[in-house]
């Protein structure tokens, strides 16, 4: 088998993939009472997939991915409130602003060590949060942006109280973005991103324009995070400072790591596990569930990210790692 | 104006004591430890609880806070941190965020989520005013105390690093771990003691800063960024770098909040990003 066929095979649709998506789209119909959480899972999954493009495929440790999420959320909410209530137009505008922001910020992650990048991404998130906090005439400050009325999707489907429209809307956006991301990571461009992640120096030695490629990857990821934020604002009709919070960036990183980085379904799987776990744990201990989250993180790292996902390697010495 | 400068310096000194342990451990082990603030919080809570519940005098609480956090740091280093030195940075970030989350929730559970109020002894309250007009210098006694303690600690640290045997071992290990090991230096022991002292200093800083910075369970998350700024901007190769960075940060933060309250923490973050884009390895690094 030559290289070309191997590569083509890797990017081909596996039989279980359409099944998974069909199941996802059937879920709001089968479990109408859980449509709200399905909506949340879809949003978080989209956010995690976007972080995967940065972290898993380009190898940039970012703690400020919530910046783009929040940017999308606030843009969508403000657009709906002041200009036009149509969700699709709002989505396009939100993705647009997040893309611009991502393109600007991509210059900050080109240089330096992991620590520098960590600090810069974190700092951008904090700056945007401060901005949203202080510009209270526009964003409502710490009270959040209230009174956002969304129009029906495509002029047909009203957002209802049970979240069924919201779930389908979010799932559709997730699917579209996922297809885009899938196409991207299997394209030659995606290949170069992975090369940069694995060894930057060698990547530049074989003629890959490292900075330009990182800029592209980062911008696309920012756009998707913006879409996820817009979904949140549109389906809940609300945007608050919470969207920029540090824990949101940390959570999404955890989600991605639980599901597995460098694998697009990792974000989706992680989102499902994380949201269900959060729902369950916070029902038991509403205030202290972050403790269990923290414990889980510590155990996850101590055992090894790879091994926890492969239980059969637990008892063999020096297994997967 | 001088008052602001003075408050800024006090704040900066405090930040330096809080963050110096982080700077040294990060330079030594290349470990991104986001949980450093948790040690500071532990120190702060030890002091506040001892003073409130057991009536221990303030001056005695400070060494207890130092020793307590240092022991905790040593125990955690040996059990949890050491296996992770070789792991990728992502693992370290996740692990330390996990520790922070656990610390926050645990303190919340045991002590409660309200902000703790520290009762300072009488001789530390009050202010001294020198001069008048625009150049008046108002010194809070407590802030003066902080500056004196922190300056003494800084000098002691500088002395230990430059002139003692342990200091030269430490510097050798930072420069090149493998060669240091080859020369017969017990690098693991150096790591362990450095980590313990670093955490102890953070605990002491937390105890000193409980009154100035405010102490509640969210402390590690709120100040994590500040510690990291000190380290990232100051570089990890010496302790002068973090010292200058901490002073700069303290003065910029206090002045920014005083003159342009609308901008809030905005100035600090923008300054940090600008500096890091300009010099990704920190302002004062040798590279």
**Residue boundaries of the structural domains of chain A:** 13-284
Distance from CA of A53 to the nearest CA of B (A): 15
- Domain ranges within chain B, ordered by starting residue: 2-217
**pLDDT for residue A319 is more than 70:** no
The number of C-alpha atoms within 13 Å of A261 and in the hemisphere containing its C-beta is 20
d(CA A59, CA B215): 36
> CA distances (Å), B60 to each of A191, B199, B246, in order?
61, 18, 27
- Residue A134: how many CB atoms within 10 A of its CB? 18
- Mean pLDDT over B204-216 rounds to 85
- Residues B159-178 have pLDDT tens digits of 988 899 988 888 888 778 88
From the list B253, B250, B287, B247, the residue with the least C-alpha distance to B268 is B253
Distance from CA of A8 to the nearest CA of B (A): 30
- Mean pLDDT over A207-212 rounds to 88
Task: Give B222 or B63, the one with higher predicted confidence.
Answer: B63
Give the pLDDT score at A320. Answer: 39
Which residue of A63, A119, A246 is in closest CB contact with B232? A119
Report the chain B residue with the minimal C-alpha distance to residue A294. B98
A294 touches B at CB < 8 Å: yes
Which residue of B228, B229, B281 is in closest CB contact with A112? B281
Give the pLDDT score at A69. Answer: 92
Taking a C-beta distance cutoff of 8 angstroms, is the pair B246, B15 a contact?
Answer: yes
**pLDDT for residue A13 is more than 90:** no
> CA distances (Å), B57 to each of B119, B183, B214, in order?
10, 46, 20
Distance from CA of A155 to the nearest CA of B (A): 41
Q: Which residues of B touch A107 (CB under 8 A)?
A: 277
**pLDDT for residue B223 is more than 60:** yes
B106 touches A at CB < 8 Å: yes
CA angle A153, A158, A162 (to 5 degrees): 120
Whole-number average pLDDT of chain B: 84
Give the pLDDT score at A318. Answer: 44
Taking a C-beta distance cutoff of 8 angstroms, is the pair A104, A258 a contact?
Answer: no
Taking a C-beta distance cutoff of 8 angstroms, is the pair B22, B202 a contact?
Answer: yes
CA A243 to chain centre: 12
DSSP SS3 for A150: coil
From the list A223, A228, A222, A230, the residue with the least C-alpha distance to A74 is A230
Contact B228 A118 (CB under 8 A): yes
Q: Which fold has domain A13-284?
A: ABC transporter involved in vitamin B12 uptake, BtuC (1.10.3470)
Contact B95 A297 (CB under 8 A): yes
Task: Give B119 or A267, the one with higher predicted confidence.
Answer: A267
Contact A288 B99 (CB under 8 A): no
Prediction ipTM score: 0.77
Confidence of residue A219 (pLDDT cuts 50, 70, 90): very high
Contact B102 A295 (CB under 8 A): yes
| DSSP conformation letters of B34-59 | TTHHHHHHHHHHHHHHIIIII---HH
d(CA A48, CA A66): 11
The number of residues in chain A equals 321
Taking a C-beta distance cutoff of 8 angstroms, is the pair B11, B245 a contact?
Answer: no
Q: Name residue B110's beta-bridge partners.
A: none
A131 touches B at CB < 8 Å: yes
B5 touches A at CB < 8 Å: no
Give the pLDDT score at B75. Answer: 92
Task: Give A155 or A176, the one with higher predicted confidence.
Answer: A176
Confidence of residue A177 (pLDDT cuts 50, 70, 90): very high
Interface test with B, best of A133, A291, A292 (most B CBs within 10 A): A291
How many Å is the Cα radius of gyration of chain B?
19
B265 touches A at CB < 8 Å: yes
Confidence of residue A315 (pLDDT cuts 50, 70, 90): low
- Residues B91-131 have pLDDT tens digits of 888 888 889 888 988 888 888 777 777 777 777 777 777 76
Q: Which residues of B touch A300 (CB under 8 A)?
A: 94, 98
Report the chain A residue with the minimal C-alpha distance to residue B222. A246
Distance from CA of B54 to the nearest CA of A (A): 27
d(CA B254, CA B234): 19
The structure tokens listed for B78 are 């040996």
The structure tokens listed for A191 are 């290949």
Report the chain A residue with the minimal C-alpha distance to residue B26. A115
d(CA A266, CA A258): 7
Confidence of residue A321 (pLDDT cuts 50, 70, 90): very low
Q: Which residues of A touch B265 (CB under 8 A)?
A: 126, 130
Q: What is the dihedral of CA A301, A305, A308, A310, to 10 degrees?
A: -160
A254 touches B at CB < 8 Å: yes
Confidence of residue B90 (pLDDT cuts 50, 70, 90): confident
Give me the helices (H) in A84-243, please: 87-105, 114-134, 136-139, 164-186, 188-198, 200-205, 210-236
Report the chain A residue with the minimal C-alpha distance to residue B229. A119
Interface test with B, best of A58, A111, A115 (most B CBs within 10 A): A115
- Residue A251: how many CB atoms within 10 A of its CB? 20
d(CA B261, CA A306): 47
The structure tokens listed for B171 are 């510097």
Confidence of residue A218 (pLDDT cuts 50, 70, 90): very high
Whole-number average pLDDT of chain A: 83
For residue B237, the 8-state DSSP code is S
- Residues B250-273 have pLDDT tens digits of 888 888 888 887 776 777 888 888
**pLDDT for residue A75 is more than 70:** yes
Stretch among A73-77, A222-226, B49-53, B136-140 having the lowest mean pLDDT: B136-140
Contact A294 B101 (CB under 8 A): yes
Q: Which residues of B touch A127 (CB under 8 A)?
A: 266, 269-270, 273
Residues 14-73, chain B, touching A (beta carbon < 8 A): 26, 32
d(CA A114, CA B56): 43
d(CA B111, CA B105): 10
Which residue of B84, B101, B272 is in closest CB contact with A291? B101
Q: What percentage of chain B exceeds 70 in pLDDT?
A: 97
Q: What percentage of chain B exceeds 90 in pLDDT?
A: 9
Distance from CA of B88 to the nearest CA of A (A): 10
The structure tokens listed for B113 are 């989520």
Q: Which residues of B touch A108 (CB under 8 A)?
A: 273, 276-277
Confidence of residue A84 (pLDDT cuts 50, 70, 90): confident
**Tokens 């407590």 label which residue?**
B142
What is the sign of the dihedral through the CA atoms of B166, B168, B173 and B179? negative
Contact B94 A115 (CB under 8 A): no
Helix (H) or strand (E) segment spanning residue B130: strand B127-130
Which residue of B93, B104, B108 is in closest CB contact with A61? B93
> CA distances (Å), A170 to each of A108, A153, A159, A227, B270, in order?
31, 11, 12, 10, 34
**pLDDT for residue B241 is more than 90:** no
**pLDDT for residue A16 is more than 90:** no
d(CA A113, CA A59): 12
**pLDDT for residue A117 is more than 90:** no
Which residue of B95, B276, B281 is in closest CB contact with A120? B276
Report the chain B residue with the minimal C-alpha distance to residue A296. B98
B273 touches A at CB < 8 Å: yes
DSSP SS3 for B193: helix
Report the chain A residue with the minimal C-alpha distance to residue B110. A288
Give the pLDDT score at B115. Answer: 79
d(CA B100, CA B234): 23
Give the pLDDT score at A48. Answer: 92
A281 touches B at CB < 8 Å: no
Give the pLDDT score at B1. Answer: 74
> Across the A/B interface, how many CB contacts are shorter than 8 Å?
132
Helix (H) or strand (E) segment spanning residue B192: helix B187-213
């Amino acid at each position: 088998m030559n290289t070309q066929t191997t590569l083509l095979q890797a990017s081909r649709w596996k039989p279980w993939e359409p099944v998974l998506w069909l199941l996802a789209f059937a879920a709001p119909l089968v479990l109408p009472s859980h449509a709200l959480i399905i909506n949340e899972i879809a949003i978080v999954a989209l956010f995690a997939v976007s972080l995967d493009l940065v972290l898993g495929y380009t190898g940039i440790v970012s703690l400020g991915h919530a910046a783009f999420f929040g940017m999308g959320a606030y843009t969508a909410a403000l657009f709906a409130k002041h200009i036009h209530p149509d969700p699709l137009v709002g989505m396009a505008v939100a993705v647009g602003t997040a893309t611009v922001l991502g393109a600007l910020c991509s210059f900050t992650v080109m240089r330096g060590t992991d620590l520098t990048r960590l600090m810069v991404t974190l700092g951008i998130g904090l700056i945007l949060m401060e901005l949203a906090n202080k510009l209270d005439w526009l964003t409502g400050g710490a009270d959040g942006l209230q009174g956002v009325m969304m129009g029906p999707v495509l002029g047909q489907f009203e957002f209802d109280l049970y979240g069924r429209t919201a779930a389908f809307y979010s799932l559709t956006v997730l699917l579209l973005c996922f297809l885009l991301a899938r196409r991207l990571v299997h394209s030659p461009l995606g290949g170069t991103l992975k090369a940069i992640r694995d060894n930057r120096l060698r990547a530049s030695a074989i003629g890959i324009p490292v900075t330009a490629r990182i800029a592209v990857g980062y911008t696309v990821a920012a756009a998707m995070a913006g879409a996820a934020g817009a979904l949140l604002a549109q389906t809940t009709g609300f945007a608050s400072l919470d969207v920029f919070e540090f824990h949101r960036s940390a959570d999404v990183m955890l989600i991605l790591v639980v599901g597995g980085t460098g694998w697009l379904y990792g974000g989706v799987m992680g989102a499902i596990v994380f949201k269900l776990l959060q729902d369950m744990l916070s029902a038991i201990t509403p205030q202290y569930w972050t403790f269990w989250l923290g414990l889980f993180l510590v155990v996850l790292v101590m055992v090894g990210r790879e091994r926890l996902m492969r239980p059969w390697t637990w008892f063999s010495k020096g297994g997967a790692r | 104006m001088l008052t602001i400068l003075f408050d800024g310096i006090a704040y900066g000194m405090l930040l330096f004591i809080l963050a110096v342990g982080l700077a040294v451990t990060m330079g030594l082990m290349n470990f991104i430890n986001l949980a450093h603030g948790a040690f500071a919080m532990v120190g702060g809570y030890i002091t506040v609880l001892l003073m409130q519940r057991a009536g221990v005098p303030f001056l005695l609480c400070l060494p207890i806070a130092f020793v307590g956090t240092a022991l905790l740091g040593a125990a955690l280093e040996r059990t949890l941190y050491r296996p992770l030195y070789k792991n990728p940075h992502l693992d370290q970030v996740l692990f330390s965020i996990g520790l922070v989350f656990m610390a926050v929730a645990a303190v919340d559970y045991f002590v409660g989520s309200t902000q703790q109020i520290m009762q300072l002894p009488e001789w530390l309250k009050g202010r001294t005013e020198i001069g008048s007009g625009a150049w008046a210098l108002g010194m809070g006694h407590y802030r003066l105390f902080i500056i004196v303690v922190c300056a003494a600690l800084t000098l002691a640290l500088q002395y230990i690093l430059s002139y003692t045997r342990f200091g030269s071992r430490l510097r050798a290990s930072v420069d090149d771990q493998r060669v240091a090991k080859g020369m017969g230096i017990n690098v693991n022991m150096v790591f362990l003691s450095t980590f313990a002292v670093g955490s102890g200093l953070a605990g002491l800083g937390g105890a000193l800063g409980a009154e100035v910075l405010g102490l509640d369970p969210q402390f590690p998350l709120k100040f994590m960024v500040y510690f990291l700024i000190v380290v990232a901007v100051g570089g990890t190769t010496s302790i002068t770098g973090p010292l200058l960075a901490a002073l700069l940060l303290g003065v910029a933060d206090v002045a920014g909040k005083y003159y342009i309250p609308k901008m809030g923490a905005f100035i600090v973050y923008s300054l940090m990003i600008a500096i890091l884009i300009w010099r990704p390895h920190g302002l004062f690094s040798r590279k």
